[in-house]
Amino acid sequence: MSELKELLLPALRQYQHNDCSGLLFGYDKDEVESIVDNLREQLAKANERVEELECSVDKANEMLEEVRASGDLGLYMDNKLTAFLVGDSEQLRKEQSSD
């Protein structure tokens, strides 16, 4: 069974002709709309995640360019670690002063 058929299976309904000459199948409109809304939400979340990952890649590329420009990975990492630790201690001080 195709993925689309599996997604729409909960919306499938069976009806009998008015003259009882046979059956026909159709999809419940409200159920189909619910399925489509759910898929749109999932797609929106996936797109947000892609944007976050693209930002992370851009930041990583910027850092790589900085390393290449500095010509010294060790010095670059020392500077970044120092900046991180200083930033971390400043945040800790802020949290302690707010308590």
How high is the pLDDT of residue 33?
95
- pLDDT tens digits, 23-53: 888 999 999 999 999 999 999 999 999 999 9
- For residue 17, what pLDDT band results from cuts at 50, 70 and 90? confident
- pLDDT tens digits, 44-99: 999 999 999 999 888 888 877 877 777 666 666 666 666 666 665 665 566 566 65
How high is the pLDDT of residue 49?
94
Q: Cβ(25)–Cβ(31) under 8 Å? A: no
Q: Cβ(11)–Cβ(33) under 8 Å? A: no
- Find the domain containing 35 and state its range: 3-98
Split into its structural domains, the chain has a count of 1
